[in-house]
Amino acid sequence: MTLARTPLSRAGRGTTAALLLASNAPDIDILATAGGAVNYLSWHRGPTHGPLGVVGLGVVVAGIVWAGRRVLDRRRSKTAAIAVANVRPDASFGMLVAVSIIGVLLHVLMDLPTSYGMRLLSPLSWHWFVVDWMPIVDIYLLVTLIAGMGFGSRASGVRRRNATIVLTIMAANYGVRAVAHHQALELVPRLFGPTLPQPCDPRSPSASPIDSWPRARVPTSPPAGQRCLVEVAAMPSFTSPFRWRIIVQFSNAYEIRDIDLLDARFRSPDADSDVLWRLTLRYPNVWTPEVEKAAATHLGQVFLGFSRFPAARSAVDAHGITTVRFTDMRFAGGLVALDQPVGRANPFTAMVRIGADGQILEESLGR
């Protein structure tokens, strides 16, 4: 609706409908839930968010709006149709395609900076891409958009002015989060102090603003007493652009630390009393032969293809049954606790149970 108040609206009648449909069209992949949660995980933010989806959905949306407009005109009286046409000329099919592609593309570009990520090149490539600036739901962005819709809805000049203000605030929000994300990563050496080891691959390139996965997994069984650094990431919070969750992946574990950039300890020079690196939460990630077997299952392949930071742990009961659990560290803690109470679902956890004879007994997602 905000886009419909910009000069895009001058394209002609049908523009608003095209923008409304196109801006939501990529999430039509929710239909994959009909095949179950695992199927949805396989397809979500996939081809409908890729280059073919952007163009294809743009053409489909334009066709729907163009056909709907013709049906609507036929149902109206001749006088009413002429009156509407005199007020605002119809947008051509080509213009509807262009506007719809813009709507789909902006949806995709707003998904990219979220910590969930997206498969930007699917189906040509199924790799995920992410920038990590925004939470999956940004309350500040939503409030700004809703407030802009609530004022000056009758005067076209006021509507355009409000759209300009809203888009400016949105750009500022993205800019603040981008700078805060950079600062959060800059604090990692201080947060982890002497516990931060050397990179596993010293030849790895410098950090890119766009991260991608899945990537080749490093060995998780280094020599006793040794470990190396795989990756560092800063996850945005839902409540403040200055609160971040730092995830550090080592060769055999993850360590997590929440920070607030407005905290005086992070804005002042180091003090002898600061022992910030002692306040981290450690989560093991040990890949045993049983974990490798679980990773080879259908559920394991789907979940590990989705998960950016998969932590694996396993346990064997008295009957020799091994339970392997994979948890995506992006969604661990906070709203999704690391160790869930019995009976509480964690949508970003996969579990595989393996019998004493090596047979797969159960595969479940979200338990």
Mean pLDDT within 30-36: 92
Q: Spell out the residues 6+ positions from residue 164 whose beta carbon is closer than 8 angstroms to its own.
A: 6
The arithmetic mean of pLDDT across residues 343-357, rounded, is 82
Q: Is residue 348 part of a domain?
A: yes
For the sheet with 322-328, list strands across it.
310-316, 322-328, 349-354, 360-365
User: Which band of pLDDT confidence, cut at 50, 70 and 90, is reported for residue 143?
Assistant: very high
Residue 174 predicted with pLDDT over 90: yes
Q: State whether 119 and 63 are in the same domain.
A: yes
CA atoms of 168 and 274, how far apart (whole Å): 39
**Same domain, yes or no: 269 and 296:** no
Is 60 exceeded by the pLDDT of residue 221? no
Within the chain, how many helices (H) and strands (E) appear? 11, 10
Which residue did the predictor score with more confidence, 222 or 28?
Answer: 28
What DSSP string describes 71-104?
HHHHHS-HHHHHHHHHHSPBPPHHHHHHHHHHHH
Please write the tens of the pLDDT for every residue from 318-347. 999 999 999 999 987 654 444 444 445 567
Q: Is the pLDDT of residue 256 over 70?
A: yes
pLDDT at 110 > cutoff 60:
yes
Angle at 32 between CA 29 and CA 35, to 5 degrees: 180
Residue 337 pLDDT? 43
Asked if the structure places residue 144 within a domain, the reply is no
Look at residue 149 and tell me if it is in a domain: no
* Of 79, 96, 123, the domain-final residue: 123
Looking at residue 335, its pLDDT comes to 45
Kindly provide the b/e burial profile for residues 170-196, where b requires at least 16 CB atoms within 10 angstroms of the residue's own CB. beebbeebbebbebbbebbeebbeeeb
Q: How far is CA 228 from the centre of its chain?
A: 27
> Do residues 253 and 299 share a domain?
no
Residue 200 confidence (pLDDT): 82
Is 90 a domain residue? Answer: yes
Q: Does one domain contain both 119 and 202?
A: no
Q: Is residue 178 a part of any domain in this protein?
A: no
CA pair distance 294, 223, nearest whole angstrom:
24
Distance (Å, whole) CA 46 – CA 127: 9
Question: How large is the angle between the packed helices 51-75 and 15-24, nearest 10 degrees?
Answer: 140
Q: Tell whether 295 and 278 lie within a shared domain.
A: no
Domain extent at residue 214: 186-282
pLDDT at 339: 41
Same domain, yes or no: 197 and 263: yes
pLDDT band, residue 133 (cuts 50/70/90)? very high
Residues 272 and 294 in one domain: no
Residue 109 has pLDDT above 90, yes or no: yes
pLDDT, one tens digit per residue, over 177-210 is 999 999 999 998 888 888 888 888 776 655 678 8
Number of domains in the chain: 3
Share of the chain above pLDDT 70, in %: 84
Exposure on the CB side of residue 88, measured as CA atoms within 13 A: 12
Please say which residue of 87, 107, 123 terminates a domain. Answer: 123
Q: Give the span between the Cα atoms of 256 and 191, in whole angstroms.
A: 10
- With contact defined as beta carbons under 8 Å apart, do 106 and 112 qualify? no
Say whether both 260 and 309 belong to one domain.
Answer: no
79-83, 262-266, 327-331 — which one is most confidently predicted on average? Answer: 327-331
Output the pLDDT for position 366. 81
Q: Which of 123, 155, 172 marks a domain boundary?
A: 123
299 and 278 in a single domain? The answer is: no
Q: Is residue 180 part of a domain?
A: no
> What is the structure's pLDDT at 225?
62
pLDDT in tens, 287-308: 999 999 999 999 999 999 999 9
**Res 104 pLDDT > 50:** yes
CA 345 to chain centre: 20
Indicate whether 220 belongs to any domain.
yes
In a domain, 164, yes or no: no
Cβ–Cβ < 8 Å for 12, 88: yes
Do both 66 and 2 map to the same domain? yes
User: What is the pLDDT, as a whole number, of residue 341?
Assistant: 42
Give pLDDT, residue 15: 95
In this prediction, residue 226 carries a pLDDT of: 75
Per-residue pLDDT, 338: 40
pLDDT at 282: 86
- Tokens 């931060």 belong to 196
Q: Is pLDDT at 251 greater than 80 in this prediction?
A: yes
Q: How confident is the model at residue 223 (pLDDT cuts 50, 70, 90)?
A: low
pLDDT for 27: 96
Mean of all residue pLDDT scores within the chain: 86
> Same domain, yes or no, for 86 and 110?
yes
pLDDT at 155 over 60: yes
Q: Do residues 244 and 278 both lie within one domain?
A: yes
